[in-house]
Structure 1
Amino acid sequence: MITLDWLYILAGIIFAIWSVLSALDSTNGKGIGNAAFWGLLAVSFFFGGQFSDLANGVLVLVLVAIAGFGQLGRSDPPTTNLVERAGFSEALGNRLFLPAMIIPLTAVVGTILYNWTPLGETGLFEERRETLILFGVGVVLALGVCMVWLKPALLAPAEEGRRLIDSIGWAAILPQMLAALGGVFALAGVGNIIGSLAGEVMPENSVFIAVVIFCLGMALFTIIMGNAFAAFPVMAAAIGIPVLVQQFGGNPAVIGAVGMLAGFCGTLLTPMAANFNIVPAALLEMKDQYGVIRQQVGTAIPLWACNVLIIYFGGFLLWN
């Protein structure tokens, strides 16, 4: 059976290759820092499941220390030059995007075929992990197609990947760390504390105010943690389940789904959502690192207000 651990091993191999290439890169003054950072990340993918919680925590702290003390630098390994890239663009045009399409197609089509044909009875993939595993398969297939079709140098994919990941830097793993923080908050009972505080300020029997506080909490916690998925268990435990669903009898499907959308409005407003707001600014070399966020404010706030109304009307007035 192919399990999610296979995907972890694949990711670990990629990070390990980047670590070795960084250590050998004499042009990057901070190559050793890059090598240590990506190497430790590879170790976490290879052995994180066997490490104790303390060992994993120490590993994370070392990663934070490397990034916090500015030991990560950008690399610029030689792969293809601008002339060669322009030649590929002119000769192949939009067909260059075909390998990228292989990844989602493999994940979506593969999942449908596996779940709706006799393939599912083979037990080839770990249960409920089919899509993630097939996503990894799609990456391998796309890489193979590129190697056969474009015939780049053997190390070109690894070097281009390293150039890209070094441009992003520590922000590449921030979403995973913040999601873990959300789990810690939930286990620590932060949701219960917020629920008790909200109960003191909410007017009794005011469904609308409860909805506003729930959506506001989703947005604010997302702004703090950079991840609506991390904010959801906290706000669901605080207000979503005990107040909106159990006390007022709201539609849990509407409250859960649209509540997440309210959290995503917070995603548009925070640098903590680095993969959405900071990484694009870095890759596009924008002068204003917060330029993406500034452009999204005018969308996020009205959209948040719409989500409040959707939960109020769709989850309560029309439901009851």
Structure 2
Amino acid sequence: MITLTWLYILGGAMFAAFAILSAADRTHAKRLGNAAFWGLIALSFLAGDHLGDLGNGMLVLCLVGLAGFGLVGRGDPETTSVKEREALSARLGNRLFLPALIIPVTALLGTIAYNYTPFGQSGLFDPKWVTLILLGIGALSAVAVTMLWLHPPVLAPLQEGRRLMDSVGWAALLPQMLASLGAVFALAGVGDIIGGLAGAVIPEGNRFVAVAVYALGMAGFTMIMGNAFAAFPVMAAAIGVPLLIQAYHGDAAVIGAIGMLAGFCGTLMTPMAANFNIVPAALLELKDRNGVIKAQIGTALPLLLCNLLLIYFLAF
């Protein structure tokens, strides 16, 4: 049976390849820092279960040190030349994007087939992680199709992957780090404290104010923590579960799902979500590093209001 462990091995192998290629790139001024950074991430993927809490904590501190002291930088590996890329673009046009569609199509159709056809009875995949496993299979399939179709250099997928990850840098780890921070906050009882404060502010029996505090809190905490996954355990413990679900008998699925969407509205408006808002500005070489955020606020605020109303009218 293919389990989630297989995906961790695949991800670890990829980051290990980035580390090796970085170390071998003598044109890269920060090649050793990059090699150490991606090598540590590879170690966490491949052996994280065996390192223990202390070992993984030390690993994270090493990652923070490498990034914080500026030892990680962007590489520029050679794969195909600019002329070759321009020639492919002129010849193939938008068909170049077809391999990328293999990934979502494989995940979607494969999940449907596994859940609603006899294929699901084969026991090939761990049923809890079918979609993620198929996402990984789709990524490998897309690479294979691209290699057979375009015949790039053998190392092009890894070199281009390294270039992209070097461009994103430490921000690539923010979602995982911030989600972990949310779990720490929940264990520390931050949700209970906020729930006590909210209970003192929300008029008893006023369901709309409770929903508004929950939705706005999801957006606000997401702006502070940079990730809705980090905000969710805090706001769920503070308001979502005790008030909206238990006290007002709301639909847990609606409150949880649309609450996350309210949090994502906060993602659109914060520099803390660096991988979404700051990295694109850097990659696009925008003069205003907050230009992406400013462009999104006009969408985020009305959408937040819509999510608030959806919770109020659909969850009860």
1:40 aligned partner, one-letter code: L
| Cα shift at 1:204 | 2.1
Q: What do you get for the CA RMSD once the two structures are aligned?
A: 1.3
- What per-residue deviation string (whole Å, max 9, x for no partner) do you get for residues 162-193 of structure 1? 11111111001111111111111122221111
| Cα shift at 1:285 | 2.1
CA separation in 1, counterparts of 2:103 and 2:307?
Answer: 32
SS of match in other structure, 1:285? coil
8 Å CA contact 2:178–2:229 kept in 1: the answer is no
Quick check: 73-82 or 272-281, which moved more?
272-281
Q: Share of identical aligned residues, percent? A: 65
Gaps of 5+ in 1: none
Please list, as runs of the form range in 1=range in 2, the aligned pairs for 1:183-198 lying within 5 A after superposition. Answer: 183-198=183-198
Gaps of 5+ in 2: none
SS of match in other structure, 1:43? helix
| Cα shift at 1:250 | 2.8
1:26 aligned partner, one-letter code: R
8 Å CA contact 2:245–2:251 kept in 1: the answer is yes
Quick check: 54-63 or 215-224, which moved more?
215-224
Please list, as runs of the form range in 1=range in 2, the aligned pairs for 1:29-48 lying within 5 A after superposition. Answer: 29-48=29-48
SS of match in other structure, 2:271? coil
Which residue of structure 1 aligns with residue 305 of structure 2? 305
TM-score, normalized by length of structure 1? 0.95
SS of match in other structure, 1:312? helix
The answer to whether the aligner puts 1:111 opposite 2:111 as a matched pair is yes
1:167 aligned partner, one-letter code: S
Which residue of structure 1 aligns with residue 214 of structure 2? 214
Which residue of structure 1 aligns with residue 56 of structure 2? 56
SS of match in other structure, 1:306? helix
- What per-residue deviation string (whole Å, max 9, x for no partner) do you get for residues 70-119 of structure 1? 11111111111221111001111111111111111111111111222222
8 Å CA contact 2:191–2:235 kept in 1: the answer is yes
TM-score, normalized by length of structure 2? 0.96
| Cα shift at 1:272 | 2.0
Which residue of structure 2 aligns with residue 231 of structure 1? 231
CA separation in 1, counterparts of 2:136 and 2:249?
Answer: 41
| Cα shift at 1:205 | 2.0
Quick check: 247-256 or 182-191, which moved more?
247-256
8 Å CA contact 2:80–2:153 kept in 1: the answer is no
The answer to whether the aligner puts 1:170 opposite 2:170 as a matched pair is yes
8 Å CA contact 1:175–1:274 kept in 2: the answer is no
CA separation in 2, counterparts of 1:220 and 1:297?
Answer: 14
SS of match in other structure, 1:51? helix
- What per-residue deviation string (whole Å, max 9, x for no partner) do you get for residues 31-83 of structure 1? 11000000000000000011110100110010011001111111111111221
Which residue of structure 1 aligns with residue 200 of structure 2? 200
